[in-house]
Amino acid sequence: MAALVTVGEFSRLTHLSVKTLHHYHEIGLLAPVSVDPSSGYRRYGTTQVDTALLIRRLRELRMPLAEVRELVETPDSARREETLRAHLERMEQELAHTRDVVTSLREMLTPGQPALDVDYRFVPAFRAYGVRDQVEREQIGPWCERTFGRLGAIGAEYGILATPGATYSDDFFTEDTGEVVAFLPVAPDQVPADGVEIVDLPGGFFAIGVHSGPLNDFDRTYGALGSHVAEHCQVAPGPIRELYVVSPGDVDDPAAWRTEICWPIQRIPAPKG
């Protein structure tokens, strides 16, 4: 009953190019019903149109072919829904991200960025409750939310008033994934607590820049501080620290947020004449 058609015809039915259909055949995503053994001509069935259109739709959503395959090969409709929903969530996230980037771009193109002033400080070694994890750049938002939620709860339990912070390994920035340690300073004799470890952070000199306001141009402050350090100081080994002086957990208004970025340096540079 279902007629067999050539690639060209199938292409017209599905609005997928012949090249694309060849490709899908090659990778085994959408194989024709039969292939003439002598001529190599592909024959598609008209019942495949629906599958082809489904694939086309998913591709329009920029879904990678690997996921598309997973989806079209899964007969279980619950799991299909699941995969799809996950993808949509990613797209929503991307969209939100886009909006952020756009606003920060606007600020960037209209010049007049205020100069960052940098503070030098010696920070003694201290002990803290810590949560250590290998985190991907993209996941850092949710991770922080979870982790500082937990740390905050423990802090409240023990009546700790210290400012929380985190250290970020270089890899985290350059490889898009690396070790992050969220910490909440405690007294040296503090008892262990559930779900967190005790970490000892080394002391040293730091160049410190303060980022105020929403986080969408955080990297500019970061770059400005880094530039300053490169120009005026000798960097020291060790991860960069951030101190969340006023964080999203404290107040809702993004304008009030304050983060201190602490860049390890060898010593405090001599002021210029």
Partner DNA sequence: ATTGACTCTCCGGTTACCGGAGGGTGGAGG
Partner DNA sequence: CCTCCACCCTCCGGTAACCGGAGAGTCAAT
Contact residues toward a second copy (CB under 8 A) are 1-3, 5, 8-9, 11-15, 17-18, 46-47, 49-50, 52-54, 56-58, 60-61, 77, 80-81, 84, 88, 91, 95, 97-98, 101-102, 104-105, 108-109, 170, 173-176, 219-220, 222-224, 226-227, 230-231
Among 38-46, 81-89, 105-113, 137-145, the segment contacting DNA (CB under 7 A): 38-46
Token pair recorded at residue 99: 């909006």
Minimum gap (Å) between residue 105 Cβ and a second copy:
5
54 binds DNA (CB under 7 A): no
Using DSSP's 3-state secondary structure scheme, residue 150 falls into helix
Q: Which of 22, 79, 97, 137 binds DNA (CB under 7 A)?
A: 22
Among 39-47, 96-104, 223-231, 245-253, the segment contacting DNA (CB under 7 A): 39-47
Question: What span, in angstroms and rounded, lies between the C-alpha atoms of 241 and 111?
Answer: 29
E strand or H helix that includes residue 118: strand 118-123
For residue 227, count other CB atoms closer than 10 A to its CB. Answer: 12
Question: What span, in angstroms and rounded, lies between the C-alpha atoms of 125 and 206?
Answer: 12
Question: What span, in angstroms and rounded, lies between the C-alpha atoms of 259 and 215?
Answer: 9
Which x/- pattern, by CB under 7 A, does the window 55-94 give for DNA?
Answer: ----x----xxx----------------------------
CB 171 within 8 A of CB 146: no
CB 200 within 8 A of CB 181: no
Minimum gap (Å) between residue 2 Cβ and a second copy:
7
Minimum gap (Å) between residue 139 Cβ and a second copy:
16
